[in-house]
Structure 1
Amino acid sequence: MRIFGAACLLLTATAANAGRPLTTEDAGFIDKGGVELENYYHRQTARGVESLSGLHVQPSVGIGFNTQIGIGVDFLRQYNADFEGRKSSGEYAIVGKTGLKALTDDEYGVAVAWSVDRTRAPGERFRYDNAALNSALTVPLEQWLLHANLGWARTRLGKQNSTTWALAAERIAAIGPVDLAAESYGNDHNAAWLGVAARWVVKEDKLFIDSSWAKQLGGERSRAFTLGLKLAY
């Protein structure tokens, strides 16, 4: 149970900072005055332990200086195998990203992302827990975007520092208006995850529907699924 809980918290904290629907961060950032609203449902399961599901809401705004900042809120529910004994918990995070080299259609981009959050276990109050710092490299290659991450994460309640990493490849307009992607990510304490994702560009630069699925290679064979909607103004 403890291992599964730590994996879920890591996934949730990472996703708050990521380029949806991937867990891997990209090097893009919101231009000054731009606003994005991301909403997604997520569900995480593992063999023999309680499942975790929730709704994540995250508005973000470009504040200039190649920087964006946002607030992510997670409303979480935990169930046993029979969907009984529901427990409520939550998390909210302040997240940000600064572009060190702007990503273009022809040139690679580099960015640094960060997050700090407070979590609430069932029946307890909110407490500061996770902090993360993550570097992101994105390389455009014709219709492909290649991403690489290397970072650091700290869980205060778990008293653990982690080195985090992620690799991803996106195929833009793989099937008409649908982008497809694959990724692998993890840290130096747990088994790696493998995932796939899709993004439907409903209205270019304005409205997106996305989904992802991932499986952890070892441990309790954890799985994660997300389904989301993104609006950009």
Structure 2
Amino acid sequence: MTHFQYSDRFGTAYLPLSIVLSLLLCTLATSAHAARPMITDDARIVDDKACQLESWVKMNRGSTEYWAMPACNFTGNLEVTMGGSRTHDDAVGTFTSDQIFQGKTLLKPLETNGWGAALTLGTDRHPQSGSGRDLYANVPLSFSFNDDKFVLHTNTGWLREQVTKRNLLTWGLGSETQLTERTWLIAETFGQNHGKPSYQMGLRHWLLPNRIQIDTTYGNQFGSSTSQRWFSIGLRLLSPPFLP
């Protein structure tokens, strides 16, 4: 998964539809990862010399986000992500965008009935605000149980917000539970050392095993009414190795 830095803002850079469609045509997959729709990251990366495209729509109260996050593994142990989202404010009818650049490497590969660790470093730029780039780092740990039928993920990270000049501690706790051969239940909670944490749960399903995946989730902030809730629906594609 993912690039998320657990900020109160859920949006990143907009990619033109032509680019998104081109990436969709170029990407078909090989192996399963946690990834979408989880915000809590996992200790896995895209296969060596392969790419993936995660895309989704996130519907909040008062706004809608359109995401496209392509990533490739060029070296065998470095997954590079460049992408983002465009967010539409329903009240004023305007769009805002952010731009994410992220690198992720494995410190210890995740083994069946074992554990794994990774390190993620990234930036999040906000062109409309003129505030520069937020910086973030995250250490995902993953634990496999029952032959990968249940996987637990924990995250500990740091976020530097340029607007507020604050350094924040970020965290996440999530799980994947296999329900059928193609369907998984995901559940997680995540947040930072300021403000209330949030939670999310949903389903992930392989339309074509290890090739094309769809997902849907419901999320909200603990102790909040419906004003903070969201729904999402996503599509994930992965490629076989093809990079030089």
Could you tell me the TM-score, scaled by structure 2's length?
Answer: 0.80
2:190 to 185, 195, 202: 185
Cα deviations across residues 64-83 of structure 1 (Å, max 9, x unaligned)?
24210011221111122xxx
* Stretches of 4+ aligned residues off by more than 4 angstroms: none
1:207 paired residue number: 212
Question: Aligned with 1:120: secondary structure?
Answer: coil
Higher strand share: 1
1:28 to 44, 50, 73: 44
Amino-acid identity (%) = 24
Q: CA RMSD in A?
A: 2.0
- 2:54 is aligned with 1:54: no
Aligned-partner Cα distance in 1 for 2:175–2:114: 16
* 1:30/1:176 CA distance change after superposition, 3 Å: closer
2:142 paired residue number: 138
* 1:79/1:8 CA distance change after superposition, 3 Å: farther
Q: What residue identity is the alignment partner of 2:145?
A: L
1:216 to 221, 224, 232: 221
Aligned-partner Cα distance in 2 for 1:29–1:116: 18
Contact 2:40–2:154, Cα closer than 8 Å, also in 1: yes
Post-superposition shift, 1:118?
1.0
Q: What residue identity is the alignment partner of 1:226?
A: S
1:88 paired residue number: 95
Q: What residue identity is the alignment partner of 2:154?
A: A
Q: What residue identity is the alignment partner of 2:116?
A: G
1:168 paired residue number: 174
Q: Which has the higher contact order (CA 8 A, sep 6+)?
A: 2
Q: What residue identity is the alignment partner of 2:132?
A: Y
Post-superposition shift, 1:8?
4.1
1:151 paired residue number: 157
Aligned-partner Cα distance in 1 for 2:185–2:155: 19
1:107 paired residue number: 114
Aligned residues: 210
Question: Aligned with 1:167: secondary structure?
Answer: strand
Q: Which runs of 5+ in 2 are unaligned?
A: 1-5, 13-33, 240-244
1:129 to 127, 130, 133: 133
Q: Which runs of 5+ in 1 are unaligned?
A: 1-5, 46-50
Contact 1:31–1:64, Cα closer than 8 Å, also in 2: no
Post-superposition shift, 1:12?
3.9
* 1:161/1:76 CA distance change after superposition, 3 Å: same
Post-superposition shift, 1:114?
2.0
2:84 to 59, 70, 73: 73
Post-superposition shift, 1:141?
0.4
1:3 paired residue number: none
Cα deviations across residues 78-115 of structure 1 (Å, max 9, x unaligned)?
122xxxx2111111110121100011223211001122
Q: What residue identity is the alignment partner of 2:115?
A: Y
Aligned-partner Cα distance in 2 for 1:8–1:65: 33
